[in-house]
Structures are given as structure tokens and as C-alpha cells.
Structure 1
């Protein structure tokens, strides 16, 4: 029994796709899944850095924009990117407390 990882287009990373509770997986599956997750999890800081660069670019555009509607759209885009960063940090921290459990 293996755990699959599904690409999340919004976050730009693969996430574990658990079909049941973590404790219900065999220890071998848990170990394999954690090893795979660490590879994907390791990409999160780079993904966050890339998104932060996009936010900085949009902020520069926002400071120069005089059209109110465009300013609102840029502000909305910045908020969405910030939300993605928040979700990525949640997933990044998730890996810190997941352990192989003995049933």
C-alpha cells in the first residue's frame, strides 16, 4: 500500500493524498511516504522565495498605478500570493511533527 502525491497547481508542489488516517498505514508505508514528502517539502522555501519576488514586483506596479480598478486587481493578486505563502508554510511545518507510528 502506497501513498500517492498529487500536484497542487495553486501551491505549485506535490502534496500527499491520504486515503485514510495516517495511523492506519503500515509502518513501511509511513516511512516511505515521509521520505518522499521530505523531498517535496524541501522545495517549499524556494517556492516561497519565488512567490515573494512576484509580490515585490506587483507592489512596485501598485505604487506606480493610478487606475483605481487596476490597483484593486493588483492588490487582490498580492493578497492571493500571500495566501499561498501562508498555506505553503503550513505544509512546511506539517512535516516537522509527522512521525512513523507503531500500531
Structure 2
């Protein structure tokens, strides 16, 4: 099992070419422990992104040029999409008996 940094989300995501059941139980436990540490960092990442959105919204309120307003809105939309994806990963809470994210990508 490997964890790779997802540049868009800013967190490590699991990746495997093996089935969950092919891992020994001790390794499954280690994988789940690592995932829980990563998962625990997701709310902080979301909070940082929400601050970025707030800054962009403040800029948007002051922006008078339509094209710049559109760009700011696009940035806000992209960050909101990232936050949505992070919440999906945060709700991914696998267990040894019921892994919910194989094949981990």
C-alpha cells in the first residue's frame, strides 16, 4: 500500500494494485492507522481552504471589472469543489471487516 500526495486536494491518498484481502491483517491495521492520521488532518485542510474562499469573496465584493470577477468566481468554485471532495474522503472510514475504499484510488 502506498499513499501519494494528491496535489489538488493537498492530502495523501491511498493507492494499491492489490485487493484489500491480499494484505495480512497486521498490514491492514497499519494502513488503516495511517489513513486515520491523514483523515484527521482533513478538517484543518478544509478550514484553510474556507479562509481562502473568504479572502476571495472579499476581493469579489470590491472588484469592479467583470472579467476579474468571473475569474475570482471560478477560483471560488474550484476551491469549493476541493472542499466537497475532501469531505467525501473524510467520510471514508474503512475497517478491516468492511473496507470502504479499495482499490484505494
Normalising by structure 1, report the TM-score.
0.89
Deviation at residue 19 of structure 1 after TM alignment? 1.4
Q: Which runs of 5+ in 1 are unaligned?
A: none
SS class of match (2:75):
helix
1:67 aligned residue: 65
Is 1:101 the counterpart of 2:101? The answer is: no
Q: Which runs of 5+ in 2 are unaligned?
A: 99-105
Spell out structure 1 runs of 4+ moving beyond 4 A: none
Number of aligned positions between the proteins: 98
In structure 2, which of residues 56, 59, 66 is the aligned counterpart of residue 58 of structure 1?
Answer: 56
Normalising by structure 2, report the TM-score.
0.87
Higher relative contact order (CA 8 A, sep 6+): 2
Deviations 1:14-46 (A, max 9, x none): 011121332332222211100011111111000
Question: Root-mean-square deviation (CA), in Å?
Answer: 1.4
